């Protein structure tokens, strides 16, 4: 491995590549892997794995010299950023260097990574930083500067970024709840009206990109009614912001009398918006039902006079529910065929909230654009990340696409959040002879289990569940702790051989009744998230589900009886 600042020693090769780019000649592309790094791609495209196992990779950015910068979460290293360089253009990184002189927060932390005006911008759960890129050096040598600080703990804390052409930075401030209920995620709890959190959350704020030490009060609320707009990009053709937001969770769990398990798995849509000043996406009062192709009133607000909040904006596309759109990129390169120019790539991280139906997503889609609007439906562009078709829980996926970036030669880079694999996708065919027939095999992939609309009866996995405690677990616990009890490795801790599960009964019962906020340590690993209280369950239901957990997942502890739950519930109510 080369030292961080010695890779420019091969100056001849880099000058040659720069000359070729400057002369607008077709770039010299490396060979793709024999199996395209495990990916399925349209005909004419190849993929090569640039780096592997770098840590839990989130978003990434690629500099004009080909250097790749990746934001990590739960990094095993002391630094939360990694710089990657393929020095000899063989497709494989020779230089991988970790860096970042800032507070690396423990536990799950959605992040962002963008390059703007020669600065590397990146975020953590509570802050946005920037660092000036150093010419001739892979790792920036300048000091890390604080751009924005916000330490509000919320359910949705991904401070993803986009930049316009006029010096503005756009920041996502996600909602602090699922759907602004009076009692968050509790069955049949009505919604707060008006929803107070909309003043500081569930929207996009605009800031000055060159100003340091800002707080949210220094920004301007650009758009509202967006539950969690993680996937963001500025479209330079339309000179406007686009966002793909995460729809709400748990329609069946919170409103079982109104929504079936199938509807809870399919709805609501992940909405793709063009976002302009003053835009209102409708959350929490409305959601988009892609099955009916219209906005509908959320169950928490049925019967409420919503005229004061105004009509929400319809999405330009409504994707199936719980696909988890985590990055968006408008392609401006020249390497790919012309039909990809100015079109949108979206990385769908994959669902964890579709039980009793298989999880869905886990792919990168493409939407062709013409004159600033979609000119066709969504397409499967890159698939195969999960390495399996039927995905019972998110942990079953070998890889989950997270971030998308474009290189200086027009190659597309994709990051994986599970182990930290980075793919580079290239077009090797004749761009002048590209036809839509090359997409035929990708269109067929829409019939695969992780992409199709599931059959209401045949694909319902709850038919195999007999144990009552397991049934309760599958309804209220599985979406976070997963079907195997191992959590997702980032936000939600494992229940397997856990001292929290097999230890003091009263403590475990209290956690379920009162909920729990981190940071906590489970089996030596720190987690920092929020578990909602489940006091709406009866004493018998809590006893059954905790007994199931204590007698499964490699645990061998005694059962819990409803009388024990009742005792703890009474004690807590008297405090």
pLDDT (tens digit per residue) in 111-139: 799 999 999 999 988 899 999 999 999 99
In contact, 430 and 73? CB cutoff 8 Å: no
Q: Assess if residue 34 is contained within a domain.
A: no
378-389 pLDDT per residue, tens: 999 999 999 999
Q: Assess if residue 136 is contained within a domain.
A: yes
Are 442 and 469 in the same domain? no
pLDDT the model gives residue 479: 86
Average of per-residue pLDDT across 509-531: 88
Q: Are strands 379-382 and 401-406 parallel, antiparallel or unpaired?
A: unpaired
Give the three-state DSSP class for 379: strand
Residue ending a domain, among 397, 419, 447, is 447
424-474 pLDDT per residue, tens: 999 999 999 999 999 999 999 999 999 999 999 899 876 655 578 888 998
In contact, 63 and 131? CB cutoff 8 Å: no
Entry field: residues in the chain: 575
Are 65 and 177 in the same domain? yes
CA distances from 436 to 330, 340, 440, 443 (A): 20, 11, 7, 10
**Residue 187, CB-side half-sphere exposure with 13 Å CA sphere:** 14
Q: pLDDT above 70 covers what percent of the chain?
A: 92
What distance in Å separates the CA atoms of residue 535 and residue 186, rounded to the nearest whole number?
9
DSSP string, 286-303: EEEETTTTEEEE-GGGTT
Q: State how many domains the chain has.
A: 2
Q: pTM for this structure?
A: 0.85
Average of per-residue pLDDT across 154-158: 80
CA dihedral angle for residue 283, residue 128, residue 342, residue 27, rounded to 10 degrees? -150
Give the three-state DSSP class for 363: strand
Q: Does the structure show a pLDDT above 60 at 102?
A: yes
**For residue 74, how far is the Cα from the chain centroid?**
15
CB atoms within 10 A of CB 562: 15
Are 204 and 242 in the same domain? yes
Give the three-state DSSP class for 116: strand
Give the three-state DSSP class for 50: strand
Give the three-state DSSP class for 275: strand
Are 208 and 325 in the same domain? yes
pLDDT the model gives residue 11: 38
pLDDT band at 86 (very low <50, low <70, confident <90, very high): very high
Are 385 and 507 in the same domain? no
pLDDT band at 156 (very low <50, low <70, confident <90, very high): confident
Are 150 and 258 in the same domain? yes
CA end-to-end span of the chain: 60
Q: Does the structure show a pLDDT above 80 at 109?
A: no
Higher pLDDT, 498 or 116: 116
Q: Residues with Cβ < 8 Å from 99, sequence gap 6 or more? A: 4, 79, 81, 82, 83, 139, 140
Q: Does the structure show a pLDDT above 70 at 240?
A: yes
Are 426 and 524 in the same domain? no
pLDDT band at 263 (very low <50, low <70, confident <90, very high): very high
| Mean pLDDT taken over the chain | 90
Positive/negative CA dihedral, 301, 304, 310, 314: positive
Give the three-state DSSP class for 6: coil
Q: Assess if residue 176 is contained within a domain.
A: yes
Backbone phi and psi for residue 68, each to the nearest 5 degrees, phi listed first: -105, 130
pLDDT the model gives residue 573: 87
Q: Does the structure show a pLDDT above 80 at 177?
A: yes
Q: Residues with Cβ < 8 Å from 440, sequence gap 6 or more? A: none
pLDDT band at 8 (very low <50, low <70, confident <90, very high): very low
Closest CA to 61 of 122, 141, 110: 122
Q: Assess if residue 87 is contained within a domain.
A: yes
Sheet hosting strand 161-163, strand order edge to edge:
161-163, 168-173, 203-208, 220-224, 279-280
DSSP string, 387-452: S-S--SSGGG-S--EEEEEE-TTS-EEEEESSS--EEEEEE-S-GGG--GGGGHHHHHGGGSTTTS
Are 425 and 488 in the same domain? no
Q: Assess if residue 141 is contained within a domain.
A: yes
Q: Does the structure show a pLDDT above 50 at 315?
A: yes
Specify the CATH number for the domain of residue 560: 1.10.760.10
What distance in Å separates the CA atoms of residue 518 and residue 513, rounded to the nearest whole number?
16
What distance in Å separates the CA atoms of residue 55 and residue 80, rounded to the nearest whole number?
9
CA dihedral angle for residue 500, residue 501, residue 503, residue 504, rounded to 10 degrees? 90
Closest CA to 292 of 273, 307, 310, 314: 314
Q: Assess if residue 106 is contained within a domain.
A: yes
pLDDT the model gives residue 464: 55
Are 526 and 381 in the same domain? no
Specify the CATH number for the domain of residue 310: 2.120.10.30
pLDDT the model gives residue 352: 86
Closest CA to 170 of 97, 119, 229: 229
Residue ending a domain, among 447, 473, 490, is 447
pLDDT the model gives residue 463: 60
Are 166 and 237 in the same domain? yes
What distance in Å separates the CA atoms of residue 36 and residue 47, rounded to the nearest whole number?
4
pLDDT band at 21 (very low <50, low <70, confident <90, very high): very low
Q: Which domain holds residue 554?
A: 465-574
**For residue 517, how far is the Cα from the chain centroid?**
21
Q: Does the structure show a pLDDT above 90 at 18?
A: no
Residue ending a domain, among 380, 415, 447, is 447
Q: Assess if residue 318 is contained within a domain.
A: yes
Are 228 and 374 in the same domain? yes
Q: What is the DSSP letter of 480?
A: H
Q: Assess if residue 496 is contained within a domain.
A: yes
pLDDT band at 153 (very low <50, low <70, confident <90, very high): low
pLDDT the model gives residue 342: 98
Q: Does the structure show a pLDDT above 60 at 108?
A: no
pLDDT band at 74 (very low <50, low <70, confident <90, very high): low
Q: pLDDT above 90 covers what percent of the chain?
A: 74
In contact, 280 and 329? CB cutoff 8 Å: no
In contact, 102 and 111? CB cutoff 8 Å: no
pLDDT the model gives residue 84: 98
pLDDT band at 207 (very low <50, low <70, confident <90, very high): very high
388-408 pLDDT per residue, tens: 999 988 889 999 999 999 999
CB atoms within 10 A of CB 263: 17
Are 439 and 498 in the same domain? no
């Amino acid at each position: 491995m080369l030292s961080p600042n010695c890779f420019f020693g091969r100056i001849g090769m880099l000058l040659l590549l720069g000359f070729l780019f400057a002369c607008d000649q077709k770039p010299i592309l490396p060979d793709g892997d024999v199996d395209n790094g495990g990916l399925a791609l349209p005909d004419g495209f190849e993929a090569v794995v640039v780096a592997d196992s770098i840590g839990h990779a989130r978003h990434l950015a690629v500099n004009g010299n080909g250097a790749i910068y990746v934001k990590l979460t739960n990094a095993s290293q002391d630094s939360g950023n990694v710089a990657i360089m393929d020095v000899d253009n063989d497709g494989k990184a020779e230089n991988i260097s970790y860096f970042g002189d800032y507070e690396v927060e423990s536990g799950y932390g959605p992040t962002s990574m963008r390059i703007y005006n020669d600065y590397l911008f990146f975020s953590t759960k509570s802050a946005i930083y920037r660092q000036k890129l150093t010419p001739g050096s892979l790792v920036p040598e300048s000091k890390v500067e604080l751009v924005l600080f916000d330490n509000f703990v919320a359910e949705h804390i991904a401070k993803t970024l986009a930049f316009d052409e006029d010096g503005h930075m756009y920041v996502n401030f996600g909602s602090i709840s699922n759907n602004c209920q009076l009692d968050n995620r509790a069955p049949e709890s009505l919604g707060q009206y008006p929803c107070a959190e909309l003043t500081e959350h569930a929207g996009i704020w605009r800031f000055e990109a060159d100003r340091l030490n800002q707080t949210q009060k220094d920004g301007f609320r650009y758009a509202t009614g967006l539950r969690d707009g993680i996937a963001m990009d500025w479209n330079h053709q339309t000179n406007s912001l686009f966002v793909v937001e995460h729809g709400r969770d748990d329609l069946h769990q919170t409103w079982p009398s109104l929504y079936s398990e199938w509807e809870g798995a399919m709805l609501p849509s992940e909405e793709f918006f063009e976002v302009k000043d003053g835009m209102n996406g409708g959350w929490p009062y409305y959601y988009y039902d892609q099955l009916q192709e219209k906005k509908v009133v959320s169950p928490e607000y049925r019967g409420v006079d919503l005229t004061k909040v105004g009509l929400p904006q319809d999405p330009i596309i409504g994707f199936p529910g719980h696909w988890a759109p985590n990055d968006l990129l408008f392609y401006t390169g020249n390497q790919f065929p012309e039909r990809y120019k100015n079109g949108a790539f979206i990385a769908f991280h994959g669902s964890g909230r579709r039980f009793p139906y298989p999880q869905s997503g886990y792919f990168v889609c493409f939407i062709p654009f013409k004159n600033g609007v979609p000119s066709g439906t969504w397409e499967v562009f890159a698939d195969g990340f999960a390495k399996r078709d039927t995905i019972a829980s998110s942990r079953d996926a070998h890889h989950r696409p997270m971030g998308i970036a474009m290189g200086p030669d027009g190659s597309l880079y994709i990051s994986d959040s599970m182990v930290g694999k980075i793919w580079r996708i290239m077009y090797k065919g004749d761009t002048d002879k590209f036809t839509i027939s090359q997409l035929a095999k990708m269109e067929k992939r829409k019939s695969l289990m992780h992409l199709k609309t599931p059959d209401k009866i045949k694909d319902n996995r709850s038919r195999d569940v007999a144990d009552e405690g397991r049934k309760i677990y599958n309804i209220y616990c599985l979406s976070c702790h997963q079907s195997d009890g191992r959590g997702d490795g980032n936000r939600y801790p494992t229940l397997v051989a856990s001292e929290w599960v097999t230890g003091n009964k009263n403590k475990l019962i209290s956690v379920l009744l009162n909920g729990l906020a981190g940071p906590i340590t489970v089996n030596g690993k720190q987690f920092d998230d929020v578990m909602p209280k489940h006091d709406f369950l009866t004493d018998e239901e809590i006893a059954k589900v905790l007994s199931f957990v204590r007698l499964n997942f490699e645990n061998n502890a005694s059962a819990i009886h409803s009388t024990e739950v009742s005792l703890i519930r009474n004690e807590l109510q008297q405090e």
